[in-house]
Structure 1
Amino acid sequence: MTIEGYLQQMGLKNIDQLYLDLTPAALYEHAIRRHEALLSQSGSLVFHTGQYRGRSPEDKFIVKDKITEDSVDWGKINKPFDPFAFSRLKEKLFLYLQNRDLFVQRCHVCADSHHRVNLWVLTEQPVYSLFARTLFRTEKKGEKKEPLLADYILIHAPGFRADPEVDHTHSGAFIIINFSEKLILIGGTGYAGEIKKSVFSLLNFLLPQKGVFPMHCSANLGSNAEDTAVFFGLSGTGKTTLSTDPTRRLIGDDEHGWDEKGIFNFEGGCYAKIIGISEEREPEIYRNALRFGSLLENVIIDPKTREIDFNDSSLTENTRAAFPIDYIPRSWPSQCAGHPKNIVMLCCDAFGLLPAVAKLTTDQAVSYFLLGYTSKIAGTETGIKTPTAVFSPCFGSPFLPLAPRVYARLFKEKIKKHKPDIWLVNTGWTGGEYGIGRRIPLEMTRQIVRSILDGKLAKAEFAKEQYFELLVPQSLGDIPREILRPNLGWKDKESYGAKAQKLKELFLKMSSAESV
Structure 2
Amino acid sequence: MNTVNQKERLSELLEQDHMLKNLSVAELVEKILSRNEGSLTNTGAIRTTTGAYTGRSPRDKFIVKDEETEHTVDWGAVNQPISENVFHQLYEKVMDYLSNKEEVFVFKGFAGADPKSRLPIQVINEYAWHNLFAHQLFIRPEDDEYLYHLAEFTVVSAPDFKANPAVDGTNSEAFVIISFKERVILIGGTEYAGEIKKSIFSVMNYLLPKQDILPMHCSANVGQEGDVALFFGLSGTGKTTLSADSHRKLIGDDEHGWSNHGVFNIEGGCYAKCINLSEEKEPQIYNAIRFGAVLENVVLNEFSKEADYDDTSLTENTRAAYPLTNIDNIVTPSIAGHPHTIVFLTADAFGVLPPISKLTKEQAMYHFLSGYTSKLAGTERGVTAPEATFSTCFGSPFLPRHASTYARMLGDKISQFNANVFLVNTGWTGGAYGEGGRIRLSYTRSMVRAALEGELDSTETMEDPIFGLHIPTYVPGVPDEVLVPRKNWKDTDSYEKKAKELANKFHTNFQKFEGIDPAIRQAGPLFTT
Normalising by the smaller structure, the TM-score range is: over 0.9
Counterpart in 1 of 2:462?
A: 463
Counterpart in 2 of 1:32?
A: 33
Q: What amino acid sits opposite 1:115 in the alignment?
A: S
Residue 14 of structure 1 deviates from its aligned partner by 9.2
Residue pair 2:344, 2:422 contacting (<8 A) in 1 also:
yes
Residue 278 of structure 1 deviates from its aligned partner by 1.4
Q: Secondary structure at the match of 1:458?
A: coil
Cα–Cα, structure 1 residues 184 and 312, in superposed 2: closer, same or farther, change >3 Å? same
Deviations 1:189-215 (A, max 9, x none): 111111000000001111111111111
Q: Which moved more, 1:504-513 or 1:143-152?
A: 143-152
**Counterpart Cα distance in 2 of 1:247 and 1:453:** 12
State whether structure 2 residue 383 is matched by structure 1 residue 384: yes
**Counterpart Cα distance in 2 of 1:13 and 1:286:** 37
* Paired residues for 1:85-484 under 5 Å: 85-100=86-101, 101-141=103-143, 144-145=145-146, 147-225=148-226, 227-289=227-289, 291-484=290-483
Q: What amino acid sits opposite 1:302 in the alignment?
A: N
Residue pair 2:295, 2:320 contacting (<8 A) in 1 also:
yes
Counterpart in 1 of 2:50?
A: 49
Residue 144 of structure 1 deviates from its aligned partner by 4.4
**Counterpart Cα distance in 2 of 1:98 and 1:123:** 12
**Counterpart Cα distance in 2 of 1:13 and 1:402:** 32
Cα–Cα, structure 1 residues 9 and 467, in superposed 2: closer, same or farther, change >3 Å? closer
Q: What amino acid sits opposite 1:44 in the alignment?
A: A
**Counterpart Cα distance in 1 of 2:147 and 2:346:** 40
TM-score (norm 2): 0.93
Q: What amino acid sits opposite 2:119 in the alignment?
A: V
**Counterpart Cα distance in 1 of 2:435 and 2:455:** 32
Deviations 1:22-46 (A, max 9, x none): 1111111111111111100111111
C-alpha root-mean-square deviation of aligned residues, in Å?
Answer: 1.5
Q: Secondary structure at the match of 2:148?
A: coil
**Counterpart Cα distance in 2 of 1:443 and 1:303:** 38
**Counterpart Cα distance in 2 of 1:163 and 1:483:** 57
**Counterpart Cα distance in 1 of 2:245 and 2:428:** 22
Residue 407 of structure 1 deviates from its aligned partner by 0.7
Q: What amino acid sits opposite 2:244 in the alignment?
A: T
Counterpart in 2 of 1:17?
A: 18
**Counterpart Cα distance in 2 of 1:481 and 1:110:** 42
**Counterpart Cα distance in 2 of 1:493 and 1:301:** 49
Q: Which moved more, 1:298-307 or 1:357-366?
A: 298-307
Q: Which moved more, 1:437-446 or 1:213-222?
A: 437-446
Q: Secondary structure at the match of 1:503?
A: helix
**Counterpart Cα distance in 2 of 1:43 and 1:385:** 41
**Counterpart Cα distance in 2 of 1:144 and 1:46:** 30
**Counterpart Cα distance in 1 of 2:270 and 2:59:** 25
State whether structure 2 residue 75 is matched by structure 1 residue 74: yes
Residue pair 1:16, 1:99 contacting (<8 A) in 2 also:
no
**Counterpart Cα distance in 2 of 1:361 and 1:13:** 52
Residue pair 1:16, 1:102 contacting (<8 A) in 2 also:
no
Q: Secondary structure at the match of 2:116?
A: helix
Counterpart in 1 of 2:520?
A: none
Residue pair 2:163, 2:188 contacting (<8 A) in 1 also:
yes
**Counterpart Cα distance in 2 of 1:462 and 1:146:** 57
Residue pair 1:14, 1:98 contacting (<8 A) in 2 also:
no
Q: What amino acid sits opposite 2:113 in the alignment?
A: A
**Counterpart Cα distance in 2 of 1:476 and 1:488:** 16
Deviations 1:311-356 (A, max 9, x none): 1111111111111112221100021111100000011111111111
Residue pair 1:228, 1:337 contacting (<8 A) in 2 also:
yes
Q: Secondary structure at the match of 2:231?
A: strand
Residue pair 2:154, 2:184 contacting (<8 A) in 1 also:
yes
Deviations 1:49-107 (A, max 9, x none): 11001111000000000100111001111011110111111111112212211000001
**Counterpart Cα distance in 1 of 2:128 and 2:139:** 17
**Counterpart Cα distance in 2 of 1:56 and 1:388:** 22
**Counterpart Cα distance in 1 of 2:30 and 2:515:** 53
Counterpart in 1 of 2:4?
A: none
Deviations 1:383-435 (A, max 9, x none): 10000111111111110000001111111111111111100001111111111
Q: What amino acid sits opposite 1:294 in the alignment?
A: A
Residue pair 1:11, 1:94 contacting (<8 A) in 2 also:
no
Q: Secondary structure at the match of 1:219?
A: strand
Residue 9 of structure 1 deviates from its aligned partner by 5.2
Residue 139 of structure 1 deviates from its aligned partner by 1.4
Q: What amino acid sits opposite 1:35 in the alignment?
A: N
Q: What amino acid sits opposite 2:53 in the alignment?
A: Y
Q: What amino acid sits opposite 1:121 in the alignment?
A: V
**Counterpart Cα distance in 2 of 1:280 and 1:475:** 31
Deviations 1:143-171 (A, max 9, x none): 54462321011001111110011111110
Q: What amino acid sits opposite 2:297 in the alignment?
A: N
Residue pair 1:462, 1:471 contacting (<8 A) in 2 also:
yes
**Counterpart Cα distance in 2 of 1:449 and 1:365:** 17
**Counterpart Cα distance in 2 of 1:163 and 1:67:** 27
**Counterpart Cα distance in 2 of 1:421 and 1:14:** 51
Q: Secondary structure at the match of 2:217?
A: strand
Residue pair 1:7, 1:13 contacting (<8 A) in 2 also:
no
Unaligned runs of 5+ in 2: 1-6, 518-529
Aligned residues: 508
**Counterpart Cα distance in 1 of 2:15 and 2:203:** 29
Residue 246 of structure 1 deviates from its aligned partner by 1.1
Deviations 1:445-495 (A, max 9, x none): 222211111122324321112211111122223323343111111112101
Unaligned runs of 5+ in 1: 1-5
**Counterpart Cα distance in 1 of 2:11 and 2:434:** 57
Counterpart in 2 of 1:3?
A: none
